[in-house]
Amino acid sequence: MDTDGGDAVGVQIQQTRRLPDFLQSVNLKYVKLGYHYLVSNLFTLCFVPLITVISVEASRFNIDDLRQLWVHLQYNLVSVVICSAILVFGLTVYIMTRPTPVYLVDYACYRPPDELKAPYEKFMRHSRLQGDFDENSLEFQRKILERSGLGEETYVPEAMHFIPPRPTMAAAREEAEQVMYGALDNLFSNTNVNPKNIGVLVVNCSLFNPTPSLSAMIINKYKLRGNIRSFNLGGMGCSAGVIAIDLAKDMLQVNRNTYAVVVSTENITQNWYFGNKKSMLIPNCLFRVGGAAILLSNKSRDRRRAKYKLVHVVRTHKGADDKAFRCVYQEQDDDGKTGVSLSKDLMAIAGGALKTNITTLGPLVLPISEQLLFFATLVAKKLFNAKVKPYIPDFKLAFDHFCIHAGGRAVIDELEKNLQLLPVHVEASRMTLHRFGNTSSSSIWYELAYIESKGRMRRGNRVWQIAFGSGFKCNSAVWEAIQHVKPSHNSPWEDCIDRYPVKLLS
């Protein structure tokens, strides 16, 4: 049968001289890729004829022509001087007013000790033995855990391992110290930076804001200098990490030749919910211990050793809308027990915030080919009332890697679908959720560490960090790799990266 088929095909090739049917043989994605390259380089291509003409004319110049040109310039000395002065002035203004580059020298993510791991069975056993949850609440937590995308090695704070739990102020401070100091010790060790050289400190933690502040605790621990610009961001949710980066970037624009440290974390000890309201039980099942410390610099000499350069930060706030404002809300239930309630409208609100954010981000990062397609679709729909689907820009042409906040499985699923991403693009987010759970604002740094540990970060690659948070906010940070990035010492994935990616249950 195979031989006969082969002969038939051979006869067909000899009899026909027509070109193949390109609609059948060419994958449309390559057509789109060719269009992208054509439009992106259209400006350069238009200059090719002009450059060719200039080159031909220049080749015809002889010594007499050059001598005449020199004589002409001598008699127009005033014009030459004026043009040169304008050119020098313009270059000076440009150099003085352009933004100072911000480099990410290195960062460190905290990995808790193994004794703080909370596998499913241990989590459910402790929840039952606590005596605070009824049978419906226990069954609800079990279902959430099974569908959450979390693995068996996530961590909960030490206070939650006791029966009954011990959510005291002292225990909460101890959790904060372990996470922040653990990440900072690793960061300072890897970068060999003296803490006294830190000029800006930004700490973000949404739910735990003691007095003195967390930033003051760090200053006291590392004996930072007295004129340090320190900030403590509270109540800003899981997207506060990008906000902290944006604040540090602004501070580095006005404080020359200095370092900025950003510490992003969340504190669980005093924010565990011990009631039976289902919308407030979800955070118990998703949030886990974690934190990250990031070292930024505006020193030109740090470019050689830095991993990334900050390209863009885009922030979106939907707090003017009442539904968006209350979709992630800390409150007391009917029994007076405090927790964070998640609205059923959360995903729809997150989608609206994402749409607003990428509308601003798109023109900054997308190639002109995608912007033209988007604009053409918009014109056809608005002016001609054409029944066309909204064009979703291909962000894969703008970014090589995606760090989507590991807030939950549903969040990652929706962004993968709406942004038309491939499984490899959301792998870091899914694996971070599986290994470490939702570590709030620091999750995007565990994801970046995953990409590095897999050896995927190459020079020139662009990374999109995107996070959602209460308020409601959607914030984006764009980084460009300055070199082929290798994982730092004591990476959170150091002992387990060979086991990932793991297969997740559908």
Instruction: Cite the active site residues.
Output: 238, 317, 401, 405, 434, 438
Instruction: Give bridge partners of residue 328 from the DSSP assignment.
Output: 342
Question: How many residues are recorded in the chain?
Answer: 506
Strand partners of residue 107: 294
CA-nearest of 313, 353, 358 to 472 is 353
Please report, to the nearest 10 degrees, the dihedral formed by the alpha carbons of residues 7, 11, 13, 16 taken in order.
Answer: -160
In three-state secondary structure terms, 22 is: helix
Please count the other Cβ atoms lying within 10 Å of the Cβ belonging to residue 146: 12
Residue with tokens 């990334």: 308
Question: Could you give the CA distance from residue 157 to residue 176 in angstroms, rounded to a whole number?
Answer: 10
Nearest of 171, 246, 161, 238 to residue 207 by alpha carbon: 238
What 3-state class would DSSP assign to 332?
Answer: strand
**In DSSP terms, which residues pair with 477 in a beta bridge?**
313, 465
Tokens of 471: 């308020």
Which value, in Å, is the radius of gyration of the alpha carbons in the chain?
28
Give the integer Cα–Cα distance in Å for 29 and 99. Answer: 37
Q: Name 115's Cβ contacts closer than 8 Å, sequence gap at least 6.
A: 161
